[in-house]
Amino acid sequence: LCAFYLTFHSFFNLFGEILHFADRNFYCDWWNSSNVDIFWRTWNMPVHRWCVRHLYIPIVEMGYGKTAASIIVFFVSAFFHEYMVSVPLKTFKIWAFMGMMAQIPLSYISKFLEKNMGERWGNVIVWASLILGQPLCILVYYHDYAIQNYNQTIFEEEYLN
């Protein structure tokens, strides 16, 4: 949440002010999202608008359905999430990719709960995904990075001394 505030609210608005950028709608009220779909549409407006303009609409205009277009957009987003994590860590694991692709069934679950139990339960799923899903993904990457880069050193220290 602190990184979100610093990036989207402080940093982007500072640059918007410096560059005289009039449209400063960098995020909407994602914290009130009643399902996962609404969360992904509201938390990062510049990326959402780019995906709609350059991926979703052209895919629908090619004759694919809206569901297929949404899945393709999530697939592209999942690829870039994985890329942004894998390159700095110099390791290729599929955890970020799978985490993003898991948003598709999570979307159906949150819509089902929203429809049958109320908007609050859809929002609970959104927050559970944020509180549990992202830290779990970070921990898995940390574990894999530590095993890849420090496991040999730990092994030598424990068993050769």
Instruction: Give the residue numbers annotated as catalytic, written as ranges.
Output: 81
Q: How far is the C-alpha of 81 from the C-alpha of 119, rounded, in Å?
A: 28
Instruction: Taking each helix axis as running N to C, give the angle between helix 103-117 and helix 66-89, from 0 to 180 degrees, rounded to the nearest 10.
Output: 130
Torsion of CA 104, 43, 88, 151, to 10 degrees: -60
Q: How far is the C-alpha of 11 from the C-alpha of 8, rounded, in Å?
A: 6
Here the tokens at position 70 are 């949404």
Let me know the angle formed at the C-alpha of 33 by 27 and 59, rounded to the nearest 5 degrees: 70
